[in-house]
Structure 1
């Protein structure tokens, strides 16, 4: 994933599926300078910094009312 797309997903009013190593994550913050993101595993609630290009958009989009 590109940094610009990670920022779009993070700022979106929609819920957009993102995976890191086959686990769904929530993008908390994006660091454009270092091409990294602070993410939280949805099931485990662990947080970590990862390279943005290791994130995968799953295409699942749920429109918020």
Structure 2
């Protein structure tokens, strides 16, 4: 993923699925200059600092 797309997802009104190392995550913040982001694992609720290039968009998520 590119930094601009990560920022678009962060600002989106829609819920857009994102994975990091095959785990669902929520983008908390984006640093475009460093191409990094803080993401929170949805199941474990811990936040990590990652390279944006390692994030994978999985598409829109429908509310349940």
Q: Normalising TM by the smaller chain, what interval?
A: over 0.9
Query: What's the RMSD between the two structures over aligned residues?
Result: 1.2
Q: TM-score, normalised by structure 2?
A: 0.93
Gaps of 5+ in 1: none
Gaps of 5+ in 2: none
Q: TM-score, normalised by structure 1?
A: 0.92
CA displacement at 1:33 relative to structure 2: 1.0
The alignment covers a number of residue pairs equal to 63
Matched, 1:53 2:53: yes
